[in-house]
């Protein structure tokens, strides 16, 4: 059904609603639900509320659901008692019901595998007896927290990611997403401020990418060549929106190439506003997603304020939905992304994708 014939204005987004195969994922459209932490799984176990939450968003039309961040076994994955785990029999039983509910509504689903590293802080409620671990035992501010990871710790962490990836495959998930963004553990290896190591995992960009690449390579070996691996990364951090790892397209290529070689299928380039050019000193006004496609040759998910009712002022973009959809359409036409992830707009209205498809913009419940 075209948007025009559905009784609403044409947004010229028809191509985004076509069936597609991206990075081994077969999807009914190019819209993904972005991962959003909710802390609504007491004891780390997905419950009936979680099942209904994901089922409703699948029914709302998204092609792909990326779950909220889920803790790998650890050590010291995070501080929150109600963030879901992705290990153990109880959690596995809950996730199996989530997968079945989502698939019954026609969506694909992948879990996001998460370790917070230094961002866990020094006073966690979950596993308080276990010290926080990170590449160098420091926060972005340089303040010490917990301890630095040993080589034995790194081997244990790799085993944790592999355990969760194999569980996802066993439960019938359509792939996994590795969370390597926003200042969490794997991103702490990328970032010179938090990676002060003098071994093979510290130093130049390519070496700082070595441990995240080891994680991906181990997961790829375990799950085989056909199970999709998405890798989420970002320049910005949770406590520093101006942070940058790569200052040029060449540095971005140096950072991401080890992950490509390790077996990533799709990159999820996390930015706060999808329309902002990534390298302002470069002649091309291309987003981080667009540059990621250019330097890796792999499919990319774009994200960042898609569908929100209001955006921060001063960003050079009209605040009407139609105008912002026009920008999104133009980026897609230029080949800057393959999938588009929607976050806050879907929190407010699980039916957002279906309403956009049908041109029912006036019916959308706005995010406040």
* Per-domain boundaries in the chain: 14-363
- Position 365 scores a pLDDT of 86
Give kind and range of the element (H or E) at residue 149: none
DSSP assignment of 93-123 equals HHHHHHHHHHHHTT-EEEEEEE--GGGG-SS
Q: What's the sign of the alpha-carbon dihedral 90, 40, 351, 293?
A: negative
Q: What residues pair up with 178 in beta bridges, in sequence order?
A: 113, 231
User: Could you tell me the fold of the domain covering 14-363?
Assistant: TIM Barrel (3.20.20)
- Position 6 scores a pLDDT of 40
CA separation for the pair 331, 309 (Å, rounded):
20
The residue assigned the tokens 């955006």 is: 311
Query: In the annotation, is 53 catalytic?
Result: no
Going by C-alpha positions, the residue among 70, 102, 68, 67 that lies closest to residue 84 is: 70
Annotated active-site residue in 71, 184, 201, 231? 184
Where the chain has pLDDT below 50, the residues are 1-10, 312-318
**Terminus-to-terminus CA distance in the chain, angstroms?**
30
Contacts of 186 (CB under 8 A, 6+ apart): 115, 117, 178, 179, 180, 211, 212, 215
pTM for the full predicted model: 0.93
- Position 321 scores a pLDDT of 62
């Amino acid at each position: 059904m075209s948007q025009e014939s559905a009784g609403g204005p044409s947004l010229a987004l028809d191509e985004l609603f076509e069936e597609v195969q991206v990075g081994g994922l077969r999807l009914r459209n190019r819209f993904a639900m972005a991962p959003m932490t909710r802390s609504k799984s007491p004891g780390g176990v997905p419950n009936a509320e979680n099942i209904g939450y994901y089922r409703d968003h699948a029914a709302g039309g998204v092609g792909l659901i990326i779950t909220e961040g889920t803790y790998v076994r650890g050590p010291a994955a995070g501080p929150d008692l109600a963030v879901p785990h992705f290990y153990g029999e109880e959690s596995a039983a809950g996730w199996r019901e989530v997968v079945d509910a989502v698939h019954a509504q026609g969506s694909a689903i992948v879990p996001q595998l998460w370790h917070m590293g230094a961002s866990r802080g020094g006073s966690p409620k979950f596993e308080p007896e276990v010290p926080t671990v990170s590449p160098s035992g420091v926060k972005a501010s340089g303040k010490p927290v917990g301890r630095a990871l040993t080589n034995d710790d790194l081997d244990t962490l790799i085993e944790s990611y592999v355990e969760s990836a194999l569980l996802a495959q066993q439960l019938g998930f359509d792939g996994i997403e590795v969370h390597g963004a926003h200042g969490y553990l794997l991103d702490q290896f990328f970032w010179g401020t938090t990676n002060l190591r003098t071994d093979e995992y510290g130093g130049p960009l390519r070496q700082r990418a070595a441990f995240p690449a080891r994680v991906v390579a181990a997961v790829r070996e375990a799950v085989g060549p056909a199970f999709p691996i998405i890798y989420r990364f970002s320049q910005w951090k949770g406590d520093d929106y101006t942070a940058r790892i790569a200052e040029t397209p060449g540095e971005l290529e140096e950072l991401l190439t080890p992950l490509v070689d390790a077996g990533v299928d799709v990159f999820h380039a996390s930015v706060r506003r999808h329309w902002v050019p990534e390298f302002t000193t470069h002649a091309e006004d291309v987003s981080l997603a667009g540059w990621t496609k250019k330097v890796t040759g792999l499919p990319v998910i774009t994200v960042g304020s898609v569908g929100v009712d209001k955006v921060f002022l001063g960003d050079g973009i009209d605040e009407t939905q139609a105008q912002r959809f026009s920008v999104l359409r133009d980026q897609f036409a230029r080949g800057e992304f393959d999938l588009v992830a929607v976050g806050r707009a879907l929190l407010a209205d699980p039916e957002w994708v279906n309403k956009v498809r049908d041109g029912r913009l006036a019916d959308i419940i706005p995010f406040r």
